[in-house]
């Protein structure tokens, strides 16, 4: 469930009609519901409470400071993938002992900063990376805590670009190489090899791939020459965009908890999309409606792939809800942005009651991998991020200005 629904014909965020919000806030903008974010976080926490996991919200899905801070205040840790995310995590006061760090390409500087701050774990993705962490930790006269990211070679039914747990992908370490690492743990005296990590992909709506990978990993743990204390399950729980099965946190828990319970393992989870995906929308305005030579209707809106790239990048489906229900004849529309790319669309062939210039449309399910993937392509300022909190809309991040577009840039003297 989320807090974006029609009430008496008006599309609302919690109790407030979008029609009121667009009077105060120019489009395009992202709008998040604090209530929904908290609700989804608590659903995971409650469902897995028997295992008392350290839940580390995956910042890459939405690194808005207010959202991350709200989650940290509620007891969440953070899953980071870069020095930038470490900076933001510390800025909002996330305790370092609740930060886990994945990424196949951590730089020496990033590793140094994370060791200095004393993060909970590096999720290590290769032997050369492990050597680098060991070397950096030695230089700092510290010990770094490490889990080995295993690649369980399990295929999940999701988009290829967000499949990460199969052997041909760049992520993680195969079981044989991981075994070698654990068997030779004394080669890395400045790391504490404490656990294993998996993350098999994102937007996975079935429980089987998780079950299959956990079984493989538990088998690995049982046979390991080193006592493994921690199991990090990663993220990946899918949400409803279109007609996906409504997989609840309890269903995922029902499949996974019995496998892990009683094994004496401390658990970490890294959910992203499940918490924020349906907690945010992108709101845009129809600039023009035109009919192409083939009869196809285009609703051209003031948001595009620079604001929300998921449809263009993953052919992702997002529900489109006009902010006021209109009882009119329906037509099929391509909802397209102003960007100079044919791939710039938010929805294709979408049946909607007649759309007119000046209408406002909400693009649902935009809370995860939305703003974080926005760009300045076509020199378009990024939109604002608004947060509905305690019944009021607050600006959590201002829209960029044209000045922001040239920040840090200069015309070189040689050009003048
Ligand atoms: N953990 C890791 C290592 C990831 O790479 C990702 C995303 O790809 C996540 C967690 C979060 O995944 P999701 O948003 O699907 O929960």
DSSP 337-359: -SSSSTT-EEEEEEEEE---TT-
Q: Quick count: other Cβ atoms within 10 Å of Cβ 319? A: 17
Identify the pLDDT of residue 341: 95
Nearest CA to ligand 1 atom 6: 235
Nearest CA to ligand 1 atom 5: 199
Cβ density class 93-126: b for 16+ within 10 Å, e for less: ebebebbbbbbeebeeebbbbbbeeebbbbbbbb
CATH of range 4-32+277-405; options 1.20.1250.20, 3.40.50.720, 3.10.180.10, 2.40.37.10: 2.40.37.10
Identify the pLDDT of residue 412: 96
Handedness of CA 2, 156, 320, 34 (dihedral sign): positive
At the second CATH level, the architecture of 34-273 is Alpha-Beta Barrel (3.20)
Provide the token pair at 108. 């020496």
Identify the pLDDT of residue 266: 98
Closest ligand 1 atom, residue 202 Cα: 15
> Residues of CATH 3.20.20.10 domain(s) within the chain?
34-273
The answer to whether residues 345 and 310 touch, using CB atoms and an 8 Å cutoff, is no
pLDDT along the chain (416 residues), means of 10: 92 98 98 98 98 98 98 98 98 98 96 98 97 98 97 81 75 93 96 95 93 96 93 96 87 97 97 98 98 97 98 96 95 98 97 98 98 98 98 98 97 93
Ligand 1: list residues with CB < 6 Å.
58, 60-61, 79, 102, 199, 202, 234-237, 270-274, 368
Nearest CA to ligand 1 atom 8: 202
Identify the pLDDT of residue 162: 64
* 94 in catalytic set: no
Question: To 10 degrees, the CA torsion angle through 290, 296, 299, 303?
Answer: -120
Structure pTM?
0.96
Identify the pLDDT of residue 247: 86
> Residues of CATH 2.40.37.10 domain(s) within the chain?
4-32+277-405
- Residue 187, SS3 per DSSP: helix
Cβ density class 394-412: b for 16+ within 10 Å, e for less: eebbebbeeeeeeeeeeee
328 CB-contact burial (10 Å; exposed 0-12 / middle 13-18 / buried 19+) = exposed
Identify the pLDDT of residue 171: 86
For Cα atoms 296, 299, 303, give the angle at the middle one, nearest 5 degrees. 140
């Amino acid at each position: 469930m989320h807090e974006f629904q029609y009430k008496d014909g008006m599309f609302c965020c919690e109790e407030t009609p979008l029609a009121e919000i667009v009077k105060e806030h120019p489009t395009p903008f992202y709008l998040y519901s604090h209530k929904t974010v908290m609700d989804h976080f608590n659903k995971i926490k409650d469902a897995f409470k028997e295992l008392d996991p350290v839940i580390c919200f995956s910042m890459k899905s939405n690194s808005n400071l207010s959202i991350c801070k709200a989650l940290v205040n509620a007891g969440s840790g953070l899953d980071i993938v870069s020095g930038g995310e470490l900076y933001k995590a510390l800025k909002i006061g996330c305790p370092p002992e609740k930060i886990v760090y994945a990424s196949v390409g951590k730089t020496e500087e990033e590793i140094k900063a994370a060791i200095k701050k004393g993060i909970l774990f590096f999720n290590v993705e290769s032997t050369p990376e492990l050597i680098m962490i060991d070397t950096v930790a030695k230089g700092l006269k510290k010990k770094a805590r490490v889990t080995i990211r295993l690649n369980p070679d399990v295929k999940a039914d999701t988009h290829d670009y967000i499949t990460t747990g199969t052997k041909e992908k760049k992520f993680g370490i195969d079981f044989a190489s991981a075994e070698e690492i654990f068997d030779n743990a004394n080669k890395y005296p400045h790391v504490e090899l404490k656990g294993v990590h998996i993350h098999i992909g994102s937007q996975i709506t079935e429980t089987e791939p998780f079950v299959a990978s956990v079984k493989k990993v538990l088998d690995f743990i049982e046979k390991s020459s080193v006592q493994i204390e921690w199991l990090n399950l990663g993220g990946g729980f899918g949400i409803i965009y279109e007609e996906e099965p409504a997989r609840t946190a309890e269903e995922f828990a029902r499949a996974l908890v019995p496998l892990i319970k009683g094994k004496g393992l401390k658990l970490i989870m890294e959910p992203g999309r499940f918490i924020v995906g349906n907690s945010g929308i992108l709101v845009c305005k129809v600039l023009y409606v035109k009919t192409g030579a083939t009869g196809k209707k285009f609703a051209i809106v003031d948001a595009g792939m620079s604001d929300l790239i998921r449809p263009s990048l993953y052919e992702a489906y997002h529900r489109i809800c006009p902010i006021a229900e209109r009882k009119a004849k329906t037509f099929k529309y391509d909802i397209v942005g102003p960007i100079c790319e044919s791939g710039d669309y938010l929805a294709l062939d979408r049946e909607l009651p007649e759309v007119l210039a000046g209408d406002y449309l909400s693009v649902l399910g935009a809370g995860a991998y939305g703003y974080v993937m926005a760009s300045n392509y076509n020199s378009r300022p990024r939109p604002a991020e608004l947060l509905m909190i305690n019944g009021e809309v607050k600006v959590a991040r201002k829209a960029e200005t044209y000045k922001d577009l040239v920040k840090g840039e200069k015309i070189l003297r040689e050009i003048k």
